[in-house]
Structure 1
């Protein structure tokens, strides 16, 4: 049976896609550096029958206005403005990669506003600007752009590096389309915003019900690191998806949705 298309909306500074009853519990999806609101269309279709499922275009992506100065704290402020703008009360937040970093930073300033959170294939820290791993990570991703490549030309190889075993072909295609459409200025700014991010000291203060969702083949947010992160969060559950790389919701949409759905069932039972 075909799923209804999501509603694509531009509201002030933010563009987003949504599905479901606006009066239902808000379920907000936050994409990664190479993503877009449309990367979550499968999840909007899956969960729009139970929730008001919403996926934003991060500032500087799609129809959302860029920030004057990009940083994780500024993105967390933008998230709070977005939540207020759409009138989302007690939302459940699903943050992938840098989206999960934004959620962690947002929780520090708004610790009681979320009903629950999902940290999907993300990290509590990126590290120091002068760290060898960090420097090589940034160089590998920005170097080709410095030498004349474009996001469109780089997209297939960038996505191939991110995925694990036997990714869903349609998900792979959508991942490449999203990556190719990221404005170069936004991609550069978001990569540099990672430097120095470190919320490890605040993990113990996360007081909302939390799911950490990892992929066993994810090299950007390795599963052992995510499992360790879960051990520092008081009410965290940890789920690892076998064979998934860094883009699990696109690579293994059925497995991702089952894991997320099970968590949402538990949250709903607990909170009503």
Structure 2
């Protein structure tokens, strides 16, 4: 029987090898729709992060989110997975890979730096205040989604990118969004990158304002034998903005990872 605290997930494909897709702050399982056709040869599992979609909230912190991911894999009968994490989802993937490396065949960190900001508590407090201020003023996530999404996109996005991202953010439960924000600002795994022994891919949009190329390049350099993939003209939502390029880079990496 599935634990009631187990996250909800959606599946695509019938392959024997599991690829697990972990969305970002304004996402949900459905926001991976442009990626799924490229993963037909795999068993793709896209989760709703705890507090999002049909997934219950868990206690704050990345250890709790990583534990929730482990429960989902158990419930799905997955012993070992290829993890693909976007933004905060990449942080969850990195946390899980460091705490349960035997369960991770490969790790893709997409638009996901190894630490939040790399700055002191004052910066974190200002960031939280700026993100929460519209909500405290009575605006909803649906109200702020168009402006937030516009700030994340690169110069040549697919026409479907903005509507999909806006609809996704508008559907995020406010309690889940607040919990994710408070968790996001605690993340710092820079000192542990050298311990990653599984194949790793670092993906970055050329115009990403939140996970800029210099930061992602430095992270790739700190991970033993990591591959770095740059997606031209893309911002923070490359899998929506440039789906063909994103899919080709991701599947090219996954296809080279041994089945073992």
Same-fold call, TM cutoff 0.5: yes
Contact 1:208 1:235 in 2 (8 A): no
> Aligned equivalents of 2:98 and 2:253: distance in 1?
22
SS state at 1:93 partner? strand
Give the 4+ runs in structure 1 shifted more than 6 A: none
Aligned to 1:40: 32
Q: Deviation of residue 180 (structure 1)?
A: 0.3
1:235 pairs with one of 203, 225, 238: 225
SS state at 1:176 partner? helix
Q: Deviation of residue 238 (structure 1)?
A: 0.3
Change (3 A) 1:229 1:212: same
Paired residue total: 257
- Return 5+ residue gaps in structure 1 as ranges: 1-9
Aligned to 1:57: 48
CA distances 1:121-146 after superposition (whole Å, capped 9, x unpaired): 001111456233x3332222111111
Contact 2:153 2:235 in 1 (8 A): yes
Contact 1:128 1:196 in 2 (8 A): no
Change (3 A) 1:111 1:128: same
Structural mapping, 1:74-223, within 5 Å: 74-126=64-116, 127=118, 130-132=121-123, 134-223=124-213
Aligned to 1:271: 259
Change (3 A) 1:201 1:75: same
Q: Deviation of residue 11 (structure 1)?
A: 8.2
> Aligned equivalents of 1:167 and 1:29: distance in 2?
21
- Return 5+ residue gaps in structure 2 as ranges: none
SS state at 1:42 partner? coil
Aligned to 2:252: 262
Superposition RMSD in Å: 1.6
Normalised by the length of structure 1, the TM-score is 0.90
> Aligned equivalents of 1:11 and 1:180: distance in 2?
28
Q: Deviation of residue 120 (structure 1)?
A: 0.3
2:20 pairs with one of 28, 50, 53: 28
